[in-house]
Structure formats: C-alpha cells, structure tokens
Amino acid sequence: MKIKGLLIIVICMIGLSGCTSKGFDIERVYQFVEIQSSNGKEIGTIVNSDDLEFFFEEMKFQEWKYIEEKEDFGKCIYKFIAYEFVKDDEEYYIREDPYELYKVDDNYYIIQDSDVISIPKRTGQFLKSIENKITITQPISEDILDNWENRIVNNTDSSYGTKKNTYNDETIVSNITKIVISDEDELDIKIDNKEEITAFIEGLDTDSWSSIDDIPNDAILRRNISAYSFRRRTKEKVLTTMYTIMLYEASNNEYFISETIPDNGTQDGDYIEYYTIPKSVADFILQTE
C-alpha cells in the first residue's frame, strides 16, 4: 500500500539562505539521510520530510568554517550520507554527500570528502546525540537506492509506483491522522481510525495506476480525497495536508486520478501527477461510505 508520488519523493526543500561556504549548495533537495556508526554500519535512515527539514536546520550550514586540515581527529563519531535523486538534461543520477562527525577537545568538526570544516558547538552536540533527537527509521536505504537505480536504467519517471512494498509504506500510513472524502453533492466522509485508514489505502491499489500526461478535458470530478497529518514539533496539534487525490470519470467510463502533494512552504510549488486507474479502484472509492 502506498500513495505513488509521496512514497517515491519525500519532498523536502531546505531553505538555507545566507550560506557562502564552499562545497555546500543551498539548492540541494535531499530525499533521505543515512546514518552510520563510526565503523560504517547503518544505524537508520531519516526519511520523514519534517525530520529532514529539522535535521538540516540544525546543521547550521551558514556557520560552517573551512579550515586547514589537522593531523589527528581521532575516531569519527557518526557518518551521515545525504542522498538526492537528480534529473539533469533528461538524465538521471544519484547524488550523495557524505559527512563525518569528529570531536576534538570541546570542538566539533565535519570532514566532507577532503574538506575539513569547523561547525557550531550546538550542531556538534545535536549530531552527537542524533539517536535521541530525531525519528530514525529502520534501515531502508537499500530499498530506496535499488529503486533509484532501476529508474536510472530505465531513464524515466514512469517507475513511480513500481517501488517495492517495503519502501516506507508503514511510515507514511502511520503519519496519516485523518482522510476526508467529499464531492460536489455535499458528501463528507471522515476516516480517522488507523485500521480503516490502512484498509482504504490498500483499496486504492496504486500498483495498478498508470502514469499519464494529463486528465482528459471531458472528465468530470467525482470525488476529492485529502489525507492529513499533524504538523510536528509544534505546541498545538495543527493538521496539515499530506496529499490530495481527485477522482475523475470520462464520458467513455474511463477513470482518472490527479494526485497533488502541496508545497507546504518549500517554494517549489505543488507536486502533481496524473494517472489512469482501473474501474475496480474507482468503484472502491465511489462505494466508500
């Protein structure tokens, strides 16, 4: 069970303005971060968009200072690898940025490739206690990278939805607090039970969806489905939209879906995909009460 675009691209635009240090591009869009122990064993992965944003905010890149390499930094504390799936001139590739954390006396350093960087003490303290500061999922980086490699081989976006079922499905579903289904006839269905939410997402059968360029002009909107989650790290529980699905029916009894993942402040615009779906999926949505 998975919502296509959301499970493939965990959108996290990190608005880090004012950074002039070399070696860090403030426009990077990292989809996940792998955390390793000092010996290179994977501890876990940061994939949730809120957690990614929090992680990179705490990095304080604008305060990094590049220095001359010192002779002995001792043993690194943690290794972090930030990954991005990139499309450039119609070609796809995987970009990875490694960071190794060191502490010397009361100072913290990052070694990135051949660069040695002095980082703020509060950043070093945050990274040193990362396992207690942020949500870390069980290692899933291999599944993500396997699917990215598959997309590179195919050189296409069409592999959206062909990702293994192990890719973060439970994480996405567990974050959904409420699903609201509505139509133009004042239909208002609310699903807020976890078992019912899971059953509904399973019923969408997204593996059967096929990507298309756009919805036909004669298609009529039948139902609107919005999934919500609580915004994290706020004193008050504030619901925010995770994604919106709109079901359309064309005159020839064909059905279509538009899926929108909202901007949510990334300044990158909403992410929208279009699909043709089987009648069985449309019937499931229309019959949900």
| pLDDT tens-digit map of 160-171 | 333 323 223 454
For residue 5, pLDDT over 80 is answered with: no
3-state helix, strand, coil in the chain (%, to 5): 25, 35, 40
CA 209 to chain centre: 20
State the DSSP string of 208-261. Answer: G-EEESS--TT-EEEEEEEEEEEPSS-SS--EEEEEEEEEEE-TTS-EEEEEEE
- How far is 112 from 194, CA to CA, in rounded Å? 42
Tokens 């070694």 sit on residue: 111
Q: Sign of torsion, CA 119 121 126 128?
A: positive
Strand-pairing partners, residue 191, are 179
For all residues of the chain together, what is the average pLDDT? 76
Selection from 15-19, 24-28, 106-110 with the highest mean pLDDT: 106-110
Sheet containing strand 188-191, edge to edge, reads: 188-191, 178-182, 220-230, 239-249, 255-261, 271-277, 210-212
Strand-pairing partners, residue 180, are 190, 226
- How far is 68 from 91, CA to CA, in rounded Å? 36
Q: Which residues contact 219 (CB under 8 A, 6 or more apart)?
A: 248, 249, 250, 256
Instruction: Please give the backbone phi and psi of residue 59, each rounded to the nearest 5 degrees, phi first.
Output: -70, -25
Strand-pairing partners, residue 230, are 239
- How far is 165 from 3, CA to CA, in rounded Å? 11
How long a stretch of residues is the chain?
289
Given pLDDT bands bounded at 50, 70 and 90, which one contains residue 272?
Answer: confident
Given pLDDT bands bounded at 50, 70 and 90, which one contains residue 132?
Answer: confident
For the ranges 33-37, 57-61, 235-239, the lowest mean pLDDT is seen at: 235-239
What pLDDT, in 10s, does the model give residues 11-24? 333 333 333 333 44
User: CA dist 10 to 34, 212, 251, 263, Å?
Assistant: 14, 21, 35, 12
Strand-pairing partners, residue 179, are 191, 227
- How far is 31 from 168, CA to CA, in rounded Å? 12
Q: Which residues contact 161 (CB under 8 A, 6 or more apart)?
A: 2, 4, 8, 206, 207, 209, 211
29's tokens: 């869009």
Report pLDDT for 68: 78
